Amino acid sequence: MLGVLIVIMLVAAYLAGGMNSSWKDISAAAVGSCTDAVELGIFLAGSMALWGGLMRIAERSGIASAIGRLLSPLIRRIFKGLNGSDEASKAVSLNLTANLLGLGNAATPTGIKAVRMLDKHRYAKRNTAMLTVLNTASIQLIPVSIGALRAAHGSTSPFEIMPAVLVTSLASAAVGCIFAGVLYGGGDDDEAD
């Protein structure tokens, strides 16, 4: 998918280059952008190291599992047929915690485990859709990488966007859950997709 995206961008660049005769600029960007990529990597590396280290302490000291416990009533409410303490609920809670804390590494594997668990329960499709929208709404407590990016570009207050981010994520998660709830209905999961 990424390869297709890159080719689309390049073809669009050539078309626009033909229209605007901006080949000189395109050429400069083609040669110079690789340095920007490494620079961006360096900026991100610092904050990824800092938060990677802190989040590992959070995991080891029980902060992550405490957040998981706080989530359990919410999980019972959003996911149909889970009682909050079964294996599927635990897997969902681990995944949501990983997302909340911005543990990029843990988010995908815990998500895969969670959808596999949900798949064994009733309402599998509905619950998988719920997990997907909760994941793609990107609810996170501290937007680490965008904070680093803002700081790198000279923001005077890199994390001033936090309240706006939280409101936006929560609202889009809510809209996603409402849509999933309506589309998958209250019934069981036997119907074809």
Partner 1 sequence: MKLTDMVVPLVIGCILLWGLVRKVNITEEFTAGAAQGLRDAAELVPILVLLMTAVGMFTASGAADIISSIFGNAAQKLGFPQECLPLVLIRPVSGSGALAAADRLLTTISPDSFEGRVASVLMASTETTFYTIAVYSGALRKKAGSRIFIAAAAADITGFVLSALTVRLMFR
Q: How far is the CB of 71 from partner 1 (least distance, A)?
A: 18
Closest CB to partner 1 among 71 and 101?
101
Closest CB to partner 1 among 53 and 73?
53
Q: How far is the CB of 72 from partner 1 (least distance, A)?
A: 21
CA nearest 126: which of 191, 37, 45? 191
Closest CB to partner 1 among 42 and 85?
42
What is the DSSP-derived secondary structure letter of residue 86? Answer: S
CA nearest 108: which of 131, 130, 88? 131
Residue 21 DSSP SS3? coil
- The three state secondary structure string of 91-147 is HHHHHHHHHHCCCHHHHHHHHHHHHHHHHCCCCHHHHHHHHHHHHHCCCCCCCHHHH
Q: How far is the CB of 134 from partner 1 (least distance, A)?
A: 9
Closest CB to partner 1 among 85 and 136?
136
Q: How far is the CB of 190 from partner 1 (least distance, A)?
A: 14
Structure-block tokens of residue 65: 């599992």
Closest CB to partner 1 among 58 and 85?
58
C-alpha to C-alpha distances, 145 to 38, 58, 132, nearest whole angstrom = 15, 18, 22
Q: How far is the CB of 165 from partner 1 (least distance, A)?
A: 4
